[in-house]
Amino acid sequence: MVVKTKIQQREKRKNRIRVKINGTHERPRLAVFRSNKYIYLQLIDDEKGKTLLAFNDQIKNKEKNKITKIESAFELGKVLAQKALEKKIQNIVFDRGGYKYHGRVKAVAEGARAGGLKF
């Protein structure tokens, strides 16, 4: 019996998802990476291999605002949506990166939808 770590299991799920999901210039992929402290978002054009937009919540100082990580992720999703709409990007493909659609990952998706992006 082979025991795999949580990271190996997540990477396996991520690869399984990435086979089905592909970003284009008209409909880029919103990739989410979640660390214990922060969350990172990227809009990626897989055809050209370019990152169109990238954000993380290190930019905001959470100590002053006293907001939770979930609230910060929601706000980050809204900011990403505003910047994407400025670049005339309205439709995206959501890539949860092997994480459960729960908590901060779900908050990012809801924030992006609230900001005007269509999945």
Output the DSSP codes for 29-57.
EEEEEE-SS-EEEEEEETTTTEEEEEEET
Model confidence band, residue 62 (pLDDT cutoffs 50, 70, 90):
low
Give the integer Cα–Cα distance in Å for 50 and 80: 16
Model confidence band, residue 64 (pLDDT cutoffs 50, 70, 90):
low
What's the mean pLDDT in 38-67? 85
What's the mean pLDDT in 86-107? 94
Q: What number of helices (H) and strands (E) belong to the chain?
A: 4, 4
Token readout for 40 is 């990172």
pLDDT of residue 3: 74
pLDDT exceeds 80 at position 1: no
pTM value is 0.86
pLDDT of residue 79: 94
Q: Which residue has the higher pLDDT, 63 or 16?
A: 16
pLDDT exceeds 80 at position 12: yes
CATH code for residues 6-115: 3.30.420.100
Q: Over the chain, what is the mean pLDDT?
A: 90
What's the mean pLDDT in 36-61? 89
